[in-house]
Amino acid sequence: MKDTAPIQPTIPVTRTTLVIGASGKTGRRVADRLIAAGLPVRAASRSGETRFDWEDETTWAPALADVDAVYITYYPDLAFPGAADIVGSFADLAVANGVRRLVLLSGRGEEGARQAEMRVENSGADWPLVRCAFFNQNFSETFVEPVRHGVLAMPGGDTAEPFLDADDIADVVFAALTDDRHIGQLYELTGPRLLTLAEATGELSTAMGREVRYIPVTPEEYASELVAHGMPEEEAVPIAELIHEVLDGRNSYLTDGVERALCRPARDFADYARGAAAAGVWNLERRAS
């Protein structure tokens, strides 16, 4: 692996960055990196001190006050109907309020995500775009209970996905927010190799020292399982359909986005799995905590 010096921000230290979804997988990691670099951060979420809700436009302008850059993550997903228009309206408001840079977290193989990207591109702000593969951390932060109990049922078939580490995403986003060299760049990010879900659970099994099985299910079965675990049906159905759609093989290829942005390789899934297992994420005794 090529050694690289720590990224040195090129932006003024007075610039405040709004991080939307600051309690999420990538948002909290980006906020941590900005804070570690001594840069002003406004961490926003639906329940945080700075409240931000995509469904409540009255929360947008207060969050944008005196902000120069924004990391945009959209909930529940850019593929949902109307998401591009909502993100576009926010981008327009941000620029009208003096925001100079917008960094959008986008998804591979999603037409709705591409529409949102174009709205950011046309907003008048400086923009880097970060288009991402399926996150490694979904296994340890979203599907943690199924993995912990040894059975992961998903509508993913047997196609391969270049699973991507959230820490790599956060490093790219930090660079995009703080270094002018990334303005106007589209970084399509993947991990360094392709894995089917069966192969990914095999890696998890090796890391954990006990078996994790992958069971393919239909989108309808998966949506029903999500609803049974408390997700509203109006979210569960499109999320199940989206997972089935993007894991149909359309994204079964690698890119050099991480290396192009950071001058280092992307983190391998096996390294992620070993680290998460060592941290005890999937320990059975953690169930009650």
Residue 124, both tokens: 């008048």
Q: pLDDT by residue (tens digit) across 102-141? A: 999 999 999 999 999 999 999 999 999 999 999 999 999 9
pLDDT of residue 14: 57
Helices H, strands E: what count in the chain? 11, 11
Are 43 and 97 in contact by the 8 Å Cβ rule? The answer is no
Cα 107 → chain centroid? 8
Query: How sure is the predictor about 229, in pLDDT bands with cuts at 50, 70 and 90?
Result: confident
CA 42 – CA 99 distance, rounded (Å)? 13
Domains of the chain, each with CATH number or no CATH: 17-194+248-277 (3.40.50.720)
Residue 87 identity (one-letter amino acid): V
> What is the residue whose two structure tokens read 């509203």?
232
Q: pLDDT by residue (tens digit) across 148-200? A: 999 999 999 899 999 999 999 999 999 999 999 999 999 999 999 999 999 99
Indicate the DSSP class of residue 244: H
Please report the DSSP string for 59-81 in residue order. GHHHHHTT-SEEEE--SS-TTST
Query: How sure is the predictor about 1, in pLDDT bands with cuts at 50, 70 and 90?
Result: very low
φ, ψ of residue 45 in degrees (nearest 5): -160, 175
Angle at 157 between CA 283 and CA 267, to 5 degrees: 55
Greater model confidence, 1 or 212: 212
pTM surpassing 0.95? Answer: no
